[in-house]
């Protein structure tokens, strides 16, 4: 049984993750953490009334000796401190929270290496998104002019999404930086052309009703290609999280991208 703590358990993804861990025969939920919760035990929540799982509100209270894997679905502001804490206590982080900066990831990778702890940061745990990123990288070899449109629910804090940024980074590995569009174009409304990553434009849509969706649009002379993925339900991320939790114990470094464990 892998002993797991879920950070951000009161949130949308955290709640879905708690349900997944409880229903998985190989996993044991040994703690939940959310500074914005009031419960001292998960059993104070109606649907979990039969359980006995401590709920923590600050890092220093966590019984770290019991935890093997730290699943993090928190917020861009919290994730760095959480993952650092996990690594320093020899707990393997499985991180879905987006918004970590490149230099923060590099710092966490150094801490993981020093402590010989494995972990995974995955901007997207959905298999359709992982495939979309791989297909997009392949397509950009032949169609290097590309724009990305990502669509999310209107409660999302960071823009562009971690998946969109990661898609652009993967494409940039094989596409040389170049300006796209008319060099003389003007934005009549600032921001109309979207964010700019090495010449690729990224557009973020925020609307109620959406969960997580992405389109990568390629254009070439006389033709176009669109690759699209849709996550309609948060449960779609859970098989990826479960794979990561099961495999992370064998790693000794902090990996980025679910594809590294598939
Ligand atoms: N990787 C993926 O596949 C994937 C999929 C969906 C969402 N996400 C990301 O997961 C994150 C959470 O998304 P959500 O929709 O569940 O958000 P949410 O706002 O519903 O939940 C976040 C929770 O984190 C808690 N929190 C805040 N600070 C904390 C801290 N220091 N420690 C622990 N918990 C803390 C909040 O109280 C809240 O309950 C976001 O960054 C989102 O982009 C990733």
The per-residue pLDDT for range 198-230, each reduced to its tens digit, is 999 999 999 999 999 999 999 999 999 999 999
CATH number for position 212: 3.30.360.10
Which pLDDT does position 105 carry in this prediction? 98
Claim to verify: residue 135 and residue 100 sit in the same structural domain: no
- Tell me, what DSSP letter sits at residue 41? B
**Positions marked active-site:** 152, 156
Claim to verify: residue 107 and residue 153 sit in the same structural domain: no
Domain hosting residue 28, numbered range: 2-121+235-260
pTM of the model: 0.89
Which pLDDT does position 140 carry in this prediction? 98
From CA 99, how far away is CA 12, in angstroms rounded?
A: 17
Claim to verify: residue 132 and residue 225 sit in the same structural domain: yes
Atom of ligand 1 lying closest to residue 16 CA: 16
Over residues 16-44, the mean pLDDT reads: 97
Is the model's pLDDT at 191 over the cut of 90? yes
Which residue, among 75, 65, 14, 26, has the nearest Cα to 243 in the 3D structure?
26
Claim to verify: residue 6 and residue 74 sit in the same structural domain: yes
Claim to verify: residue 117 and residue 12 sit in the same structural domain: yes
- Cβ burial, residue 52 (10 Å; 0-12/13-18/19+): exposed
Claim to verify: residue 185 and residue 89 sit in the same structural domain: no
Over residues 246-256, the mean pLDDT reads: 96
Claim to verify: residue 227 and residue 239 sit in the same structural domain: no
Which pLDDT does position 37 carry in this prediction? 95
Between the CA of 30 and the centroid of ligand 1 the distance, in Å, is 19
Over residues 111-133, the mean pLDDT reads: 95
69-95 tens-digit pLDDT: 999 999 999 999 999 999 999 999 999
Domains contained in the chain, number:
2
Say yes or no: CB of residue 236 within 6 Å of ligand 1: no
Atom of ligand 1 lying closest to residue 126 CA: 3
Say yes or no: CB of residue 206 within 6 Å of ligand 1: no
Percent of the chain's residues with pLDDT above 90: 98
Between the CA of 55 and the centroid of ligand 1 the distance, in Å, is 16
Over residues 160-178, the mean pLDDT reads: 96
At CA 138, angle to CA 221 and CA 126, rounded to 5?
120
Strand spans (E) along the chain: 2-7, 27-33, 55-56, 69-72, 92-95, 119-121, 146-152, 195-197, 200-206, 212-220, 223-231, 254-256
From CA 24, how far away is CA 243, in angstroms rounded?
A: 11
Say yes or no: CB of residue 85 within 6 Å of ligand 1: no
Which pLDDT does position 106 carry in this prediction? 98
Which pLDDT does position 110 carry in this prediction? 98
Claim to verify: residue 12 and residue 63 sit in the same structural domain: yes
Which pLDDT does position 64 carry in this prediction? 95
Is the model's pLDDT at 192 over the cut of 90? yes
Is the model's pLDDT at 262 over the cut of 90? no
CATH number for position 72: 3.40.50.720
Claim to verify: residue 77 and residue 46 sit in the same structural domain: yes
């Amino acid at each position: 049984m892998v002993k797991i703590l879920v950070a951000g358990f009161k949130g949308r993804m955290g709640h879905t993750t708690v349900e997944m861990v409880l229903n998985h025969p190989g996993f044991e939920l040994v703690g939940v953490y959310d500074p914005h919760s009031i419960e001292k035990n998960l059993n104070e929540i109606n649907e979990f009334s039969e359980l006995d799982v401590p709920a923590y509100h600050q890092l220093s209270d966590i019984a770290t000796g019991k935890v093997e894997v730290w699943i993090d679905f928190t917020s861009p502001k919290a994730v760095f401190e959480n993952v650092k804490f996990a690594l320093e206590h020899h707990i393997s982080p499985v991180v879905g929270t987006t918004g970590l900066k490149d230099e923060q990831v590099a710092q966490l990778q150094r801490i993981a290496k020093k402590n010989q702890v494995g972990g995974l940061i995955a901007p997207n745990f959905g298999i359709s998104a992982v495939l979309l990123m791989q297909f997009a990288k392949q397509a950009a070899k032949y169609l290097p002019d590309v724009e990305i449109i990502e669509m999310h629910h209107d409660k999302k804090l960071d823009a562009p999404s971690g998946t969109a940024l990661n898609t652009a980074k993967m494409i940039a590995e094989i596409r040389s930086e170049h300006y796209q569009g008319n060099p003389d174009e003007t934005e009549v409304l600032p921001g109309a052309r979207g964010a700019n990553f090495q010449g690729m434009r990224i557009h973020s849509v925020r609307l109620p009703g959406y969960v997580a969706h992405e389109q990568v649009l390629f254009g070439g002379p006389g033709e176009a290609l669109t690759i699209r993925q849709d996550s309609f339900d948060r449960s779609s991320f859970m098989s990826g999280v479960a794979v990561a939790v099961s495999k992370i114990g064998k790693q000794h470094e902090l990996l980025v991208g679910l594809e590294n464990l598939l």
